[in-house]
Amino acid sequence: MYLRKFDLSGRVAVVTGAGQGIGLACAEALCEAGAAVVLTDISAERCEAGRAALAAKGYVVETDLIDIGDSASVNAVADRLAVSGRAADILVANAGIAHAGVPAEELSDADWERMIGINLSGAFRSCRAFGRHMLAKGRGSIVTIGSMSGTIVNRPQQQVHYNAAKAGVHHLTRSLAAEWAARGVRVNSVAPTYIDTPLLTFAKEDKPMYEQWLDMTPMHRLGQPDEIASVVLFLASDASSLMTGSIVAADAGYTCW
């Protein structure tokens, strides 16, 4: 009875930013659970690399290009799937960027607006585009990728724009959950710790900062993409049917201190 709740057979799942890292791991987890996965990314090269990586494991996925900074781009993919009779049942709004190391008083308007435009507004554009079709069907599950940075202020790096954007993603998640619950669409978020992905390359090159991160983490390690994908799978599936508006920490205990 219980394991069947994780079965996603017959469902269409869209993952943004799925060419690498957390997004690619989420795509693999959803494939393993039986979903028909649409792997999307802004980069055609990453899309193909992700498709090939999953094909090597025996999974066949559809790929498409999405620029979450452009509503027309996001809407086009959501609408195309709906017109073909395959409107998304699941959305993993994962695409985003990272940028740190700039004091708030020196942060440019361009850097602020790019961060908010992609990490927060991009998440909203994705939820809106695919959520419309879920609402029309009366069912769906959306999982946003937030961050522990949406809950706490990281040290030692200065990243006010990233923290603000991820806090916004958390409250976007709750707000959509409240609006759409009665219409059959659940919206939850995962708030990861530092995850060992290409976005973290800069940190490993700064050994003192990297060591400080580990010292501030009770489990004293980075997370792995598959550890976030497992949480996403739970939230996407019927195993979490009573949950909406939840921000699930997967942070190796970082926010305990």
Catalytic residues: 162
Residue in the structure block whose two tokens are 């004091």:
103
Q: What is the dihedral of CA 215, 163, 206, 17, to 10 degrees?
A: 110
Of 228, 244, 231, 43, nearest in space to 134 by CA: 244
Buried b (16+ CB within 10 A) or exposed e, 95-131: bbebbbebeeeebeeeebebbbebbbbbbbbbbebbb
Neighbours of 135 (CB within 10 A): 15
CA end-to-end span of the chain: 37
Compute the distance between CA of residue 222 and CA of residue 184 in angstroms, rounded to an integer.
35
Cis omega (within 30 of 0) for bond into 156 = yes
Cα 124 off chain centre by: 12
Compute the distance between CA of residue 245 and CA of residue 248 in angstroms, rounded to an integer.
10
Tokens of 103: 């004091």
Residue 210 belongs to what H/E stretch?
helix 207-215
Strands 90-93 and 62-65: unpaired
